[in-house]
Structure 1
């Protein structure tokens, strides 16, 4: 196989581990912290997870290990959307297993959770796994979005585990995937299967985050990749001086990516969905704000600019959020009735007749293509697929109309972009390569110490790998109840942009200057080589949060 010079170099990169994980595995001791409780709905979550609720936090220190050292057979899956660094979680897990005992085995189940159900797997070897070190993508075993949520599924997984003598399963995924991990861990504990379940925090959206999980893996690389592209467009806009670029970036349920890219690139406009919701801003409020910036810049002879739009913006606009919630509920409850409707007219009338009067009015006033997009097939959780809603085009159309209605003399020629898949499978940055390898390595220590229902955690991330701290957090600590498919279910609470947090406050303090003037910065490509202060820095979000 032919490799690019970059591929060859990345294969040879040696990920850095926290000091505690650099010790001989036999000299690492587990330390128990405080008991935990869920972030909300404590009584209900405790009732649902009687065997795995209230467990203590975990950290590691140098000492005498009581961990199991041999006879380990571990299964691993990648679940959900891709995120840079997933391969390094697996290689870190593999290396720790083999360092503990060369006879330990790691099985990779293919295609996500369905690989466990179908018993479709590969046994990792040095030769095979070395082809994927420090690379992007999930192609080592593939991924999938099958949900593990029924007793029948759990029984199949238990049988597959028994067949292969698995003592643990590692689920690498986001909030929904790790919710599945928590439910599976509870089942395995309740049935005394002897199978442990450990999760690893993945999602480029950055919404799997709390006081212990400082950042989910892939966020750093994705934001740097998008920021490079946004910087390129800013340079083009500053050169051509005739286009407004509306750039939608990933982030369905939170605006972390949009905010980080704004901190990196200093665009003229960045919309933050959480602020829109908090200020009860309507669609027209947003449109008028953008039009005001366009006019202010035009008055200075600047008929160009860059606006960043989070993928999930439309769900944060109060009247649209209510509309989407009603549509989700309607299509969940009346799925069969809706499925038999053959024409758009019938579908439209069915929806309008079942919405509240306010939501019906909002739906009628949306462009027809947006109406269609709101009624497209739901995702596995029963929610609208917001990545397919062309919010950036909707804003361009509405801003152009607003300027025309004002009789504005501002020149407004706009182009739209969506940066999504461009960032999901990039070569992981040094930060993500190190972080992910540490998460996988650490996951083995949780397994070898007999723990289940935990998520692998590495903290103190802005201080550099040698100062990182390794441990684990019970997954139930992050859970609450949310309405899915028309009923309440336990899920990991998504972390939103904190409007009183330091990163947003920094953005808020500078956005007027960035809006009216051209303050673009050009981050360039992710730096793999050079001084550590260039190559290994973390995100601006994390640095600001931790005062570095």
Structure 2
């Protein structure tokens, strides 16, 4: 099969590792630090995870670790949505496994967690792995969204592992997937199955993070990919000088992607969902804010611009959030009657007639297409699928209507033409940046070191990521220290708490200090394509968000 020259060159790229992980693997030893605990709901989490709660944080140092050489079979699962660098996590895991003992075997379970339930696997060999190193995608073994939630599923996992003499599982996933990893690790310890479970922090959304998980893998590549596209569009807008581009960016519950892309490209408007919620901004006020920016720029003769919109924005607008909650509750109670209606107008009437007066008023002002999107199939948690709501079109349509009102009132004389975009899938399987290639490889290599340390229920942790890779720190944290209790399907369940944009954090504060200037003036910056060759400050740099977070 023909491959591109870049792809051929990337196969040969040797990812960089922290200095401690470059040593003879038998001389990498764990050092156990302070005990950990959940930041909220500690008693509830401790009660649910008696075997894995309160474990110590681990760092790796130089020392004698003969246990590394023991022959092991390890299983690996890719879980959830794709993120650039997943192949390198598996590459790092494989290389560490073979460095420890050439007789070790890596089982890749196909299609996500369902692969282990169905005993569907691929033996990962050096030859098989070669064509996936440093590439994007999860196609090496595929991924899936099957949840490991029941004791019956846990026992199937145990028996499949025992069938293949697998003594450890590595689950590569986001907050839900690593929650499942924590529950599975607890079950295996409770039942004394002798099977370890490790997690690796993956999500382009950037909302799986804390002090010791500084960034989730894939976020760097995805945001640089989107920022290149945004920069290209901004340059086109500045050239044609006639379009306002409304760009929705992936990010289900947090605005990290939108904020990072704003820091990289300096758009005229970037909405941050967490700020909208904190300020209790209404949909009308958001439309007014954008319309005012359009009007201000028109006064300067600039009838063009760029607006960035986080995917989950509608859930943070108070009256829309209340409407969505009411719709979720209504349809969970009257699911059969609603599903019996095939006509979209009948469905809209069915819901509208059963809403409270306030929610009905909000529902009515929404364009027909948005009403239909709010009533589409639910997600696995029984909620509105926010990613399907075309917030970019909603806002561009409402801004257009508002500007027509202003024109009729003779307070706006500009021209307004809009175009809408959604950037999501373009970034999930992109060729990983050098940063993500290095970081992911380190996460995988480090995950095996955690296995060799004899622990279970840990997340692979690589820190000090703004420094060169040889200065990165390697270790692990208990997954339970990131958990809290949340209501899912009407019941309180333990889950990893999503990290939202901190309005008091340095990245948001920097954005807030500069956005007024970006709004009126044309201050676009153009990041250009991801670079793999050249000076480290161009090729190996991390995100602006992480750089600001770790600045003095």
- The residue correspondences of 1:148-547 to structure 2 (distance < 5 A) are 148-407=148-407, 408-547=412-551
Conserved? CA contact 1:329–1:486, under 8 Å: no
Aligned mates of 2:354, 2:483 — CA distance in 1 = 32
- In structure 2, the gaps of 5 or more residues are none
CA contact (8 A) 1:288 1:402 kept: yes
Does the 8 A contact of 2:348 with 2:372 survive in 1? Answer: no
Q: Is 1:329–1:485's contact at 8 Å kept on the other side of the alignment?
A: no
SS at match of 1:280: coil
Aligned structure 1 segments of 4 or more residues deviating by more than 4 angstroms = none
> Residue deviations 1:126-172, cap 9 Å, x none?
10001100000000000001111011111111111111111011100
Secondary structure of 1:76's counterpart equals strand
- How far apart are the structure 1 equivalents of 2:336 and 2:42? 35
What secondary structure sits across from 1:204 in the alignment?
coil
Distance, in Å, in 2 between the alignment partners of 1:67 and 1:331 is 54
> Secondary structure in 2 aligned to 1:462?
coil
Q: Which moved more, 1:39-48 or 1:358-367?
A: 358-367
Task: Show CA shifts across 1:397-416 (max 9, x none).
Answer: 10011111122212110000
Question: Given the two structures, how large is their TM-score scaled by the length of structure 1?
Answer: 0.98
**1:101: which partner in 2?**
101
Rounded to whole Å, the distance in 2 between the matches of 1:208 and 1:184 is 19
SS of 2:528's equivalent?
Answer: coil
Residue deviations 1:454-510 (CA, integer Å, cap 9, x gap): 100100000110110001111111111111222221111000011111111111111
In the alignment, structure 1 residue 82 sits paired with structure 2 residue 82 = yes
SS of residue paired to 1:521: coil
Q: Whole-Å Cα distance in 2 between the matches of residues 380 and 69 of structure 1?
A: 42
Please list, as runs of the form range in 1=range in 2, the aligned pairs for 1:27-38 lying within 5 A after superposition: 27-38=27-38
Q: CA RMSD in A?
A: 1.2
Structure 1, unaligned runs of 5 or more: none
Aligned length: 548
Confirm or deny: 8 A CA contact 1:332 1:485 kept in the other structure.
no
Name the SS of the counterpart of 1:132 in structure 2: coil
Q: 2:291 & 2:353 partners in 1: Cα distance?
A: 34
| Maintained 8 Å contact 1:248/1:417 | yes
Partners of 1:66 and 1:449 within 8 A in 2: no
2:145 aligned with 1:145: yes
Q: Kindly state the Cα deviation for residue 37 of structure 1 after the two structures are TM-superposed.
A: 1.4
Structure 2 residue 8 is matched with structure 1 residue 4: no
- Cα distance in 2 for residues equivalent to 1:209 and 1:372: 34
State the distance in 2 between where 1:143 and 1:473 align. Answer: 24
Q: How many angstroms apart in 2 are the aligned matches of 1:47 and 1:326?
A: 32
8 Å Cα contact 2:25-2:68 kept in structure 1: no
